[in-house]
Amino acid sequence: PKKDGTKVQGNAINALLVNETVRDLIKLFDHPEPAAVQCHRCATNEADYWCDGDCRHCFCSDCWNTIHEVGQYRTHMRRSVGDRPRVVPQCQGHGDHSIQFWCEQCAREICGECQQTQHRDHSPVEITAYVKTIEEQVSAIWKEL
């Protein structure tokens, strides 16, 4: 939430302004095992497998067999969906860097390179600490309701 004096009335927690990336990080930390993952190909069935090859997508059994039974795809490694690595959000300015910090002055997430260049005179906090603070604030608001 921004420190803009927003008052949360009753059950209006959704009125809080939260950066989408921070919201996604909260979900990542709060819910390490996501709900059912949909198949990348058919988008209707629940995924059973994750491709640890060039695909790097999740597939249901039917789509896995259709795609990976021939040619170059036969060598792809089939893994359980639960073995799929977590995706850490990337820096908007440096797409090849993971976000590591939250810049309070700019109200945005940044990577280590941003922290040392454009934000060197700011006071960024580690993103995990920021997420924990947000969780505590949201929890306190819920208790007040």
**pLDDT of the residue at 27:** 64
- What local confidence, expressed as pLDDT, does residue 26 receive? 66
Domain boundaries, the chain: 13-32+87-144, 34-84
Name, in order, each residue with C-beta under 8 angstroms of 15's C-beta and a sequence gap of 6 or more.
6, 8, 9
To which H or E segment does residue 109 belong?
Answer: strand 108-110
Helix (H, G, I), strand (E, B) or coil at 101: strand
Say if domain 34-84 classifies as CATH 1.20.58.710: no
Confirm whether pTM is higher than 0.75: no
Ordered DSSP codes for 4-22: S-PPPPTT-GGGS---HHH
- The predicted-structure confidence for 110-124, as pLDDT tens digits, reads as follows 999 999 999 999 989
Q: Which fold has domain 13-32+87-144?
A: Double Stranded RNA Binding Domain (3.30.160)
Q: Do domains 13-32+87-144 and 34-84 have the same CATH topology?
A: no
Of the CA atoms within 13 Å of residue 6, those in its CB half-sphere come to 15
Pairing of strands 101-103, 108-110: antiparallel
- Tell me which residues of the chain have a pLDDT lower than 50: 1-2
Question: Could you tell me the CA-to-CA distances from 43 to 46, 58, 76, 81 in Å, in that order?
Answer: 8, 10, 21, 15
In this prediction, residue 47 carries a pLDDT of 94
Q: What is the pLDDT of residue 1?
A: 44
